[in-house]
Structure 1
Amino acid sequence: MKEQTIMLTGGGTAGHVSLNQAIIPSLQQLGYAVHYIGSEQGIEKELIGDAFPNVPFYGIASGKLRRYFSMKNFTDPFKVVAGMMQALRIIKKVKPQVIFSKGGFVSVPVVMAAKLAGVPVVVHESDVTPGLANKIALPFASHIFTIFEETLKHVPQDKATCTGSIIRPALFTGNRTKGLTLCGFTGEKPVLLVMGGSLGSVVVNDALRQNLPELLKRFSIIHLCGKGNLDQTLVDTVGYKQFEYVTTELPNLLHAADFVVSRAGSNSIFEFLALHKPMLLIPLSAQKSRGDQILNAKLFQKQGFADVLIEEELTKDSFMQAIESLVGRQSQMILTMEQTQRPKTPDEMVQLILQYKK
């Protein structure tokens, strides 16, 4: 009997890996051999390798796709071609029945190689509008799944479905007491969780730390500041706990939090929504990104799930004012969140993907 095999790809940021992390256990429970193609130096190698040592990981070359002028725009296409040839050799050796792509630059050569190898590709887009990598991938895809209904306007509608959010079950198993204990908090004050994405955010970190003495009068603060962004002068500050980055501890920390301040990556904000956490979103500016986080944040604001502070308007004072507004809207925001539909489980997402295997 032919072994059932699936290949996953996606990387560059944790947001391009988290859904893959969520569905791997479901696939393995169904008896599928899971293989992963990522970039040679990307965060996905660590995230997948640490959590799933039994999942073979293949690192390939991947050039960055830029919307702005750079001399690397003349050399990176050669990396994409090299990555495509590497991916093609891997695909022919592994022989997956289907490839699931979560996006990111590394997914482009993989999706192109899959087309050459005759392997169906399912693409997942989690932002309101497709990123550049997924835009390139769409013509090669058998089907595209989206989180937002609004995204269907930007993809071929004859091969696209909106699934809504997919939340890993482990998120709901978090424990507030464990989260408080991990931080050394008593639970007497409400907890403010501040995070700037898997790579951290200098502007968010600075806005928090500039206001730290005032905020600590009212909150205990969990700060996910990004790798290399710990402030050693604040390590012993009572009521303030810094982490560079967390994985298995995150559900406990989220359950401990009463309020969240975050960038507006779609995976994160849907997790906050699922846990009914009032959120202040500070999306990446259009100067630093293609503006996808701004669209995500504004849509959540329109639906009553979040307050939004645009990065260009972020100052020491505006940060404090936004926190005050968030606290004042806590009850209404939670009530609005409680009326949303149940997110899909990884098991349900896996069944959708497997429809397209050959």
Structure 2
Amino acid sequence: MSEPIRLVVAGGGTAGHISPMLAIADAVKVENPAAQITALGSPGGLETRLVPEAGYPLELIPKAPMPRSINLDLLKFPFRFAKAVNQAKAVLRRSNAQALLGVGGYVCTPAYLAARKLGVPIFVHEANSKAGMANKLGAKHAAAVGTTFAGTGLPGEEQVGMPMRSNVATMDRAALRDEARAHFGLTDDRPVLLVTGGSSGALSLNNAVAQSLQQLNAAGIRTVHITGRGKQLTDDSGALLAHEGYTQVEYVDRMDYAYAAADLMVCRSGAGTVCELEVAGTPSVLVPLPIGNGEQKLNARELVQAGGALLVADKDFSAGYIAEHVIPLLGDRHKLEEMSQAASSLGRRDAAQIMARKIITEVSSRALPGQEG
């Protein structure tokens, strides 16, 4: 396709939605360097920071979630939702969009309806093993539906894997190890435990690690702790928690460094995290988020069955679990290498490129000879 494609990408709220959306946008840019890509999100989500940082213009429409109880908000909902659909239409018209990509989240439902009313082709990517309501709606009328996991139940689904930014998708964990450890100030060869609860942090993980620092250090383990923005751990005086062998940071933009520096990672099992662990080949202890519809436990299933990760319920992850399971595992290099190989055997690196080609091929097929594509 010689002419620049005009694409709107919709998704937001958490990094789990935004990261694959941006990965696909980047892949479209590689295939079609002059592509005009606009992101659609909602106020208050991580997209307000991550999308501009990635270099894409961002348009915002208000959230219009369906109220779960009978109250005043329920009466206002039809008007709020209609307004959101109309604003999404306006964005599609202003950008003269030739396609809409949705990855889930509140913003996608009005975006899908707006695109259908305007005759704009819809593309859907579902990250989780259990599809969300927005993507269930969008998939009904989509030109193509890509999924990370098999069996989500979406019509016309094709398992393509998880779209991920190039620095993770192309990473070589062994080659990046020294650079990654230097990034976190790690200057020796002691085993490294890296703990992260995701972009918003995880209080239960944070507390269990804080209670285990003395045991971890005594076992010769360095702990790197990504606490989440605004969730730094403090001591009784209010100062940042400090301990020998312990480093805490709020947020890491270079997650490839995290995967490469870690001998073992303790983390949630969001779809993006699970797939990145597989691509990196990083052994892990997965602690599914205990709320929602159980999709995080399902996300972890294949990696755990392959032997690349351990699974523990949030209520069972404690200082006692760390002492009984995590510390011994970090002392077993052979077991860690087996887990790494098992994780790597599942890694898929080309999902973003597959989705980008589907979008570009569809837009190209709709372009009439002699007209702008």
- TM-score scaled by length of structure 2: 0.86
Q: What is the letter of the counterpart of residue 117 of structure 2?
A: L
CA positional deviation for 1:173: 6.3
1:272 aligns with 2:277: yes
1:355 alignment partner in structure 2 = 361
1:297 aligns with 2:296: no
Paired residues, number: 348
1:333 alignment partner in structure 2 = 339
CA positional deviation for 1:258: 1.0
1:192 alignment partner in structure 2 = 193
1:240 aligns with 2:246: yes
Identity %: 28
Match of 1:355, SS state, is: helix
Structure 1 distance, partners of 2:149, 2:287, is: 19
Pair member with larger Rg: 2
Structure 1 distance, partners of 2:259, 2:295, is: 24
What is the correspondence of 1:188-227 to structure 2 with a 5 Å cutoff? 188-217=189-218, 218-227=220-229
The answer on whether the counterparts of 1:126 and 1:148 sit within 8 Å (CA) in structure 2 is yes
- 1:200 to 1:79, Cα distance in 2 relative to 1, 3 A: farther
Structure 1 distance, partners of 2:185, 2:70, is: 47
Structure 1 distance, partners of 2:46, 2:77, is: 19
Which stretch shows the higher mean deviation, 317-326 or 127-136?
A: 317-326
Q: What is the letter of the counterpart of residue 163 of structure 1?
A: V
Structure 1 distance, partners of 2:115, 2:122, is: 7
The answer on whether the counterparts of 1:147 and 1:165 sit within 8 Å (CA) in structure 2 is yes
Structure 1 distance, partners of 2:81, 2:322, is: 41
Match of 2:230, SS state, is: coil
Which stretch shows the higher mean deviation, 72-81 or 175-184?
A: 72-81
Q: 2:167 aligns with which of 167, 170, 176?
A: 170
What is the correspondence of 1:5-24 to structure 2 with a 5 Å cutoff? 5-24=6-25
- 1:275 to 1:223, Cα distance in 2 relative to 1, 3 A: same
Per-residue CA distance 1:7-31 (angstroms, 9 max, x = gap): 1011110010101222333322312
- 1:105 to 1:50, Cα distance in 2 relative to 1, 3 A: same
Structure 1 distance, partners of 2:249, 2:78, is: 37
Unaligned runs of 5+ in 1: none
Q: What is the letter of the counterpart of residue 238 of structure 1?
A: E
Match of 1:64, SS state, is: coil
Structure 2 distance, partners of 1:198, 1:336, is: 26
Which stretch shows the higher mean deviation, 273-282 or 20-29?
A: 20-29
2:324 alignment partner in structure 1 = 321
- 1:78 to 1:281, Cα distance in 2 relative to 1, 3 A: farther
- TM-score scaled by length of structure 1: 0.89
2:80 alignment partner in structure 1 = 79
The answer on whether the counterparts of 1:192 and 1:221 sit within 8 Å (CA) in structure 2 is yes
CA positional deviation for 1:131: 1.5
Unaligned runs of 5+ in 2: 367-373
Structure 2 distance, partners of 1:354, 1:320, is: 51
Match of 2:8, SS state, is: strand
The answer on whether the counterparts of 2:24 and 2:163 sit within 8 Å (CA) in structure 1 is no
1:307 aligns with 2:307: no
- 1:246 to 1:32, Cα distance in 2 relative to 1, 3 A: same
Q: What is the letter of the counterpart of residue 164 of structure 1?
A: G
- 1:173 to 1:135, Cα distance in 2 relative to 1, 3 A: same
Q: What is the letter of the counterpart of residue 228 of structure 1?
A: G
- 1:75 to 1:221, Cα distance in 2 relative to 1, 3 A: farther
2:39 alignment partner in structure 1 = 36
Which stretch shows the higher mean deviation, 213-222 or 131-140?
A: 131-140
The answer on whether the counterparts of 1:280 and 1:322 sit within 8 Å (CA) in structure 2 is no
- 1:338 to 1:90, Cα distance in 2 relative to 1, 3 A: closer
The answer on whether the counterparts of 1:80 and 1:108 sit within 8 Å (CA) in structure 2 is no
1:108 aligns with 2:114: no
The answer on whether the counterparts of 1:307 and 1:326 sit within 8 Å (CA) in structure 2 is no
CA positional deviation for 1:315: 2.7
Per-residue CA distance 1:210-251 (angstroms, 9 max, x = gap): 11111123321111111110124445433222121121x322
Q: What is the letter of the counterpart of residue 14 of structure 1?
A: A
